[in-house]
Amino acid sequence: MIELDNVGYSYGGGELLSNLSVRLTPGSFHFLTGPSGAGKTTLLKLCYGALHPTAGQVRAFETDMRKLDRDQTALLRRRIGVVHQDCRFLDHLTLTENVALPLLVSGRDLSSETDNLNELMQWVGLSGRADARPPELSGGERQRAALARAVIMSPDVVIADEPTGNVDWEMSQRLLQLLVELNRMGKTVLIATHDLSLIRAAKSQVQARVLRIANRQLQTAGADL
Ligand SMILES: Nc1ncnc2c1ncn2[C@@H]1O[C@H](COP(=O)(O)OP(=O)(O)OP(=O)(O)O)[C@@H](O)[C@H]1O
């Protein structure tokens, strides 16, 4: 589904990532961990095509992402929902409107999507906050709204960058539960996190593979996590 073959990446200085190969197969659940600055966000960006590798190749849905033009990239990106580390919202729109933004951008008529939107807001537990403005939201509400926005286009793959970074344990469990549910619906899930307790909690719920970036390379983490 997403394949990295001997991928390297450099921002211009020394190589940050070197010779990484990994395959995210359909329906798989992966964690990506490693120290701060190791390159987790960079690797996620390579997976969803926001960056292209400086060596090797990234393929998504059997296609070399570098060979796509802008429109093809936009189409492919609809199949990959992303929860960014610093999820941003437009403050003048309501929460529901923010969640619906990808629909608007892709030219869909919102009036025919009301049921879908309501269902999604209910799924993330934000029905009661539908008309709230982003500055009024708690960290956990922001993260759940970001997840709802990431899946509004029914992507095949969900990529989340530190989705539990700014929330308490209870909320991180709730977010994990939502990501596990997405995986049970058949979506491929990739989560970057520092939080080893989150990974441990997930292991009783889902068969997760843990990848660790160390010394610019990817290792599969052992069972001692
Ligand atoms: N646009 C950029 N230009 C230059 N250097 C960058 C850029 N983005 C990231 N870096 C550097 O690349 C390194 C890896 O950053 P990245 O955000 O991928 O790491 P990370 O493992 O996700 O870190 P954290 O856990 O702290 O979020 C860092 O040293 C960072 O400063």
Q: What DSSP assignment string belongs to 20-53?
A: EEEEE-TT-EEEEE-STTSSHHHHHHHHTTSS--
Ligand 1: which residue has its CA nearest to atom 13? 37
Q: Domain map of the chain by residue range?
A: 2-220
pLDDT at residue number 178: 96
Interface confidence (ipTM) of the complex: 0.97
Residue range 89-107, pLDDT digits in tens? 999 999 999 999 999 888 8
Residue nearest to atom 4 of ligand 1 (CA): 11
For the chain, helix (H) and strand (E) counts, in that order, are 7, 10
Closest CA to 31 of 205, 216, 198, 223: 198
Largest CA distance in the chain: 50
**20 pairs with which residues across the strands?**
7
Pairing of strands 80-83, 2-9: unpaired
Mean pLDDT of the chain: 92
Q: How far is the CA of 84 from the centre of ligand 1 (A)?
A: 14
Check residue 198 and report its DSSP letter: H
Q: What is the pLDDT of residue 225?
A: 57
Q: In terms of DSSP H, where are the helices of the chain?
A: 40-47, 70-77, 95-105, 114-123, 139-151, 169-184, 196-203
Q: What is the pLDDT of residues 106-159, one digit of tens each?
A: 888 888 888 889 999 999 999 999 999 999 999 999 999 999 999 999 999 999
Which three-class secondary structure state does DSSP give residue 57?
strand
Q: Whose CA is nearest to atom 31 of ligand 1?
A: 37
In the structure, which protein residues have their CB atom closer than 6 angstroms to any atom of ligand 1?
11, 16, 34, 36-42
Multiple choice CATH, 2-220, 3.10.20.30, 3.40.190.10, 3.40.50.300, 3.40.50.410: 3.40.50.300
Residue of minimum CA distance from atom 6 in ligand 1: 11
